[in-house]
């Protein structure tokens, strides 16, 4: 891969148009907009989007733009409205984008403006759909539908939902937001790169091991809550030889997941009991046996179901990326399970996390180093030619650079498609 893919602003702008302007991009979850008038905002490439629950219960995806003079309608990231009102000239719009009222409408008599013409409404995106409550949009009027786009990685969204005894999940609070001074592709390439864990997280692994040892000597409620998170950090210290015994699975369109080292060492007894009551012992065992590290839905988000977490990637510039980390609550699960999830997120992915800062430092060094003189080319050769093709998927060792190659092939498909 040529280093210019991370450095060239012109290539970045093409990515915004050809990848984020055509692929299915995650926008939000149904639990964020349960009632008519509820909305959340998101960025899809360069486009500001509003996801809003309309009065008929449907979810509409609108461009955040007034149909009159083009002013952005919404500034607050989430909320509830009876209608949208532009702060510039006071035009109002229904929650499906249709013009509701225009101040001094008679002033337009005899002109080409017709409030019934959708050209003057808040425009709807070309396509939107949801899978089990996860909403995605595609700005392109044609292409694969959402089900075909997700393919086999849809099972990772199933994993998120099925872990809830009530088969419903809900976003909890506001997401963590982290601004990274690096190209967006570096974040995705790192998620299922088993080889980076041991050297990159050396200091946080040691800190976790010290904390675990101290916990054995002095048990406190705080340390009990942190146990699962500390264990997850310590797992980054798994030797390469053991990482090499698990697998990574990749799918069409750049998606992938790694198995083997993600699940907690044990689950809260109350949660296991609740899940068994809801599904029966056999199905409960099947659900908790699913063990996936990170599941990548390229190019916009990644899940970690065992800890009720979804990370959203928002590219801002060739060397700036916003990461949003959302936490979910499992319906009908005990409070202890929700507390474990929040503690894990604080330890692993908050702005003050030792693990997150390890990765951010690595990304910064790559971004800086690629601008230095040296070879123009980057190697993605590890385990090349050793992967196993199956129907609809390819499987390789977790230490392979297979997921990186899979993402690059998808990148190339998007960037060289007919436009």
For the segment 203-250, what is each residue's pLDDT rounded down to a tens digit?
A: 888 888 888 777 666 655 556 667 767 777 887 878 888 888 899 999
For residue 299, give both structure tokens: 């190019």
Helix (H) or strand (E) holding 180: strand 169-180
According to the model, what pLDDT value does residue 25 have?
98
Outline which parts of the chain fall under CATH 2.102.10.10: 23-142
The mean of the pLDDT values for the chain is: 92
User: Which listed CATH number (1.10.1750.10, 2.40.50.100, 1.20.140.10, 2.102.10.10) goes with 23-142?
Assistant: 2.102.10.10
- Range name among 51-55, 70-74, 112-116 with the lowest pLDDT average: 112-116
Closest CA to 42 of 295, 365, 372, 315: 315
Closest CA to 257 of 120, 406, 365, 58: 406
Closest CA to 127 of 117, 139, 119: 139
Closest CA to 54 of 76, 83, 26: 83
CA distance 213 to 217: 7
Its sign, for the CA torsion 107, 111, 117, 119, is negative
Measured between alpha carbons, how far is residue 28 from residues 69, 308, 314, 318, 385 in Å?
Answer: 27, 15, 13, 24, 38
CA distance 89 to 257: 49
User: Token match 């990170």: residue?
Assistant: 294
Measured between alpha carbons, how far is residue 67 from residues 36, 39, 70, 165 in Å?
Answer: 22, 19, 6, 44
According to the model, what pLDDT value does residue 212 have?
77
What is the per-residue pLDDT across 349-406, written as a single tens digit (0 to 9) for each? 888 888 888 999 999 999 999 999 999 999 999 999 999 988 889 999 999 999 999 9
Contact 52, 62 (CB under 8 A): yes
324, β-bridge pairs: 177, 312
Outline which parts of the chain fall under CATH 3.90.380.10: 150-416
- Range name among 70-79, 216-225, 274-283, 289-298 with the lowest pLDDT average: 216-225
What is the per-residue pLDDT across 249-269, written as a single tens digit (0 to 9) for each? 999 999 999 987 778 878 889
CATH class of 150-416: alpha beta
DSSP 8-state code for residue 182: S
User: Token match 């980054």: residue?
Assistant: 236
State whether residue 225 is helix, strand or coil.
helix
For residue 118, give both structure tokens: 């959708």
CA distance 244 to 63: 46
According to the model, what pLDDT value does residue 219 have?
59
Strands 78-80 and 309-317: unpaired
With a pLDDT cut of 70, the percent of the chain lying above it is 97
User: Token match 């409030």: residue?
Assistant: 115
Strands (E), 246-319: 247-250, 256-259, 292-297, 301-304, 309-317
Q: Check pLDDT > 80 for residue 298.
A: yes
pTM of the complete model: 0.93
């Amino acid at each position: 891969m040529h280093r210019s893919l991370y450095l060239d602003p012109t290539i970045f702008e093409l990515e915004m148009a050809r990848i984020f302007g055509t692929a299915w991009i995650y926008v939000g979850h149904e639990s964020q907009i349960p009632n008519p008038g509820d909305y959340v905002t998101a960025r899809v490439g360069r486009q500001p989007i509003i996801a809003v629950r309309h009065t008929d219960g449907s979810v509409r995806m609108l461009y955040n733009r007034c149909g009159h003079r083009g002013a952005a309608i919404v500034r607050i990231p989430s909320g509830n409205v009876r209608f949208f009102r532009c702060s510039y000239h006071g035009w109002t719009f229904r929650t499906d984008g249709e013009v509701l009222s225009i101040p001094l409408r008679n002033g337009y008599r005899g002109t080409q403006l017709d409030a019934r013409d959708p050209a003057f409404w808040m425009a709807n995106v070309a396509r939107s759909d949801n899978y089990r409550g996860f909403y995605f949009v595609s700005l392109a009027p044609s292409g694969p539908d959402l089900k075909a786009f997700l393919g086999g990685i849809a099972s990772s969204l199933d994993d998120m939902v099925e872990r809830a005894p009530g088969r419903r999940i809900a976003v909890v609070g506001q997401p963590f937001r982290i601004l990274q001074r690096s190209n967006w592709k570096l974040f995705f390439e790192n998620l299922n790169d088993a080889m980076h864990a041991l050297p990159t997280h050396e200091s946080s692994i040691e800190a976790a091991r010290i904390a675990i040892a101290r916990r054995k000597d002095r048990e406190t409620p705080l340390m009990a809550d942190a146990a699962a998170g500390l264990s997850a950090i310590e797992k980054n210290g798994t030797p390469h030889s053991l990482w090499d015994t698990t697998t990574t699975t990749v799918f069409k369109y750049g998606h992938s997941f790694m198995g083997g080292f993600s699940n907690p060492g044990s689950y809260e007894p109350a949660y296991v009991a609740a899940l068994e009551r809801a599904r029966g012992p056999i199905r409960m065992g099947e659900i908790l046996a699913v063990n996936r590290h990170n599941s990548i839905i390229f190019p916009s988000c990644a899940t970690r179901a065992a800890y009720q977490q979804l990370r959203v990637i928002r590219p801002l510039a060739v060397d700036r990326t916003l990461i949003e980390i959302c936490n979910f609550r499992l319906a009908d699960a005990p409070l202890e399970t929700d507390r474990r999830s929040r503690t894990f997120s604080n330890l692993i992915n908050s702005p003050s996390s030792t693990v997150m800062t390890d990765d951010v430092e690595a990304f910064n060094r790559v971004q800086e180093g690629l601008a230095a003189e040296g070879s123009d080319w980057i190697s993605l050769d590890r385990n090349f030619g050793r992967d196993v093709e199956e129907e609809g998927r390819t499987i390789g060792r977790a230490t392979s650079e297979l997921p990186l190659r899979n993402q690059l092939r998808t990148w190339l498909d998007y960037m060289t498609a007919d436009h």
